[in-house]
Amino acid sequence: MSDENKVEEQKDSEAIQEEKVVTNGSVKIDGKDIKYTALTGTYILRQEDPKKKKEGLIPKAKIFYIAYIMDGVTDPATRPITFSFNGGPGSSSVWLHMGLLGPKRVIAEENGKQVPPPYRLVENEYSLLDTTDLVFIDPVSTGYSRTVKGQEPEQFHDYNKDIESVAEFIRLFTTRNMRWSSPKFLIGESYGTTRAAGLSGYMQDRYGMYLNGIMLVSSILNFQTARFMPGNDLPYMLFLPTYTATAWYHKKLADHLQEDLRETLNKVEEFVMNDYNQALLQGDNMPNDEKERIINSLSEFTGLSKEFIDYSNLRISIHRFTKELLRDQKRIVGRLDSRFKGIDRDAAGELPSFDPSYATIQGPYTATFNDYVRRELKYENDENYEILANLWETWKYEKFQNQFLNVAETLRDAMSKNPFLKVFVANGYYDLATPYFATEYTLDHMGLDPELRPNISMAYYEAGHMMYMHEPSLRKMKLDLKGFIEKSLD
């Protein structure tokens, strides 16, 4: 072998070595100093290659993770461990890590407004580290996670392969850190809730790993509830209460509907389940007088003009709504968090050119994480940390060809096999990505046995998709999550 080939082989070998950096820290939670050990690094995922079966398991990808383990615990069986990830598909774990759960948090919003750079981290007094150890996972092609040389990233950009790879990481971490006897929880946000539901079944059936609880933040389990297309009327109905909440926040409703948000939402939900539902079921057979009555109600509950609703055939899509609500102010509202407003280039256009709520969080989370991981966690990597990779347009759902993805059935099956599995669902009233009423609809249509329905609990927050950006909601959410974990262990 030539010297040049030897050097290349050595580089390849180094490229697939696992990494681990150990640091120590502390965080004050509820007046107590919680000391912890932080583990930052990568695991190598190895799988059998169908073309190279004789070679056994070969390296496929490096999975980046950050784990926080509370010091001083002598018996791991008494200490819960929670595996956390976000969604996308294509999102790193930075949002739940730096916004809700970890020992540091980002200040991205103050008094409902975007903060200017430079951005800052503060000690997270609402961290869940007093209740559970935390492991943050970046799926392949997000964060610092990458396929190894010679492996195509696209093989992991698939519902099934994503579930398998994240589950394998969890199995490896649990095994190497001797946590099989620990109470185990998952927490996912957005598509991360899809992943969590999928994992609940896969980990039971493949590894015999039974979970104590799953925490779903801004949940989407049945994709039919969020796909605006001809012939599918569900999203138009299920998004309506969040349209109303958004109009309420921006003071676009009549005075009698502006008095109390929850009372107004109750009226809208009743309208959806009765008049609106029955009207859309009639399709083109709807009588003109009934159509006029529905248009009047929709206008009242959304703050949009009757003409716009009529021209939209009584069906208001999310992107049209975010563009239309504040058109008279030449402003658009956010999709992830409809409290936030933005300045669009073309005030006469049909659709918004960007999401002002994502613009609010992208800068603060990106800057503070990149500084934190190198300065405090001492992990050095010159690659770009992929905060949110654009994978959703090419993501594959081969298991669900010619149908809507619905992992609520996977979760129902997992809960039926493991009747001790508890589920907590966090909903933001101003979340137009995964509206709360669509989540309620999904859970109400799981077909879960009545004996198991009390295993699911719900909470609501006056914020958006990342409700923890809003400090009052963050404070409430900490108490809700802590209470859920403790109750799951009773």
pLDDT digits (tens, 9 = 90+) for 80-95: 999 999 999 999 999 9
- Whether residue 361 is predicted with pLDDT greater than 60 in this model: the reply is yes
Q: Does 63 have pLDDT greater than 80?
A: yes
Report DSSP letters for 258-282, one per residue: HS-HHHHHHHHHHHIIIIIHHHHHH
Mean pLDDT over 98-126 rounds to 91
Considering the domain architecture, whether residues 387 and 445 belong to the same structural domain is answered as yes
Q: Which of 356, 384, 415 is the last residue of a domain?
A: 356
| CA dist list (Å): 221 to 51, 142, 217, 351, 439 | 35, 21, 11, 26, 8
Percent of the chain residues topping a pLDDT of 70: 95
Q: Return the pLDDT at 13.
A: 47
C-alpha span between 403 and 298 (Å, rounded) = 30
pLDDT band for 113, please (50, 70, 90 cuts).
confident
CA dihedral of residues 111, 115, 121, 123 (deg, nearest 10): -10
Q: What pLDDT is recorded for position 54?
A: 57
Q: Which residue has the higher pLDDT, 175 or 345?
A: 175
Domain stop point among 326, 356, 386: 356
H helices of 208-355, in order, are 234-238, 240-249, 255-258, 261-271, 277-282, 288-302, 306-311, 318-324
pLDDT value of position 9: 43
Would 59 be classed as within a structural domain? yes
Residues 147 and 266 in one domain: no
Whether 453 and 338 map to the same domain: the answer is: no
Task: Examine residue 1 and state whether it is found in any structural domain, yes or no.
Answer: no
The answer to whether residues 25 and 126 belong to one domain is yes
Q: Residue 474: which CATH number?
A: 3.40.50.1820
> What is the structure's pLDDT at 313?
96
* Pair (68, 217) in one structural domain: yes
- Asked if residue 424 and residue 386 are part of one domain, the reply reads yes
The encoded tokens of residue 446 equal: 């799981």
Q: Does 369 score more than 70 pLDDT? A: yes
Conformation bin of residue 33: beta by default, left when phi > 0, alpha when psi is -120 to 50: beta
pLDDT tens per residue, range 455-464: 999 999 999 9
- Residues 128 and 482 sit within 8 Å (Cβ to Cβ): yes
Q: Is residue 3 in a domain?
A: no
- Residue 5 domain flag: no
Whole-number mean pLDDT of the chain? 94
What would the mean pLDDT of 271-282 be, rounded to a whole number? 97
Do 394 and 470 share a domain, yes or no?
yes
Q: What is the pLDDT of residues 147-161, one digit of tens each?
A: 999 999 999 999 999
**Which residue range is the domain that position 267 belongs to?**
228-356
Is 367 in the same domain as 242? no
Rounded CA-CA distance 447/462 in Å is 29
**Are residues 139 and 40 part of one domain?**
yes
CA distances to 182, 197, 201, 315, 443 from 458, in Å: 25, 16, 21, 28, 10
The owner of tokens 């993805």 is: 405
Residue 403 DSSP code: S
409 lies in the same domain as 334: no
Confidence of residue 40 (pLDDT cuts 50, 70, 90): very high
Mean pLDDT confidence for 444-453: 97
CA torsion sign for 223, 224, 225, 230 is positive
> Against a cut of 0.85, is the pTM above it?
yes
pLDDT of res. 52 = 61
Residue 377 has a pLDDT of 98
| End position of a domain, from candidates 340, 356, 372 | 356
Domain total for the chain? 2
Give the tens place of pLDDT for each residue, 146-205: 999 999 999 999 999 999 999 999 999 999 999 999 999 999 999 999 999 999 999 999
Q: Do residue 174 and residue 304 come from a single domain?
A: no
Q: Are residues 190 and 127 in the same domain?
A: yes
Q: Is the pLDDT of residue 2 over 80?
A: no
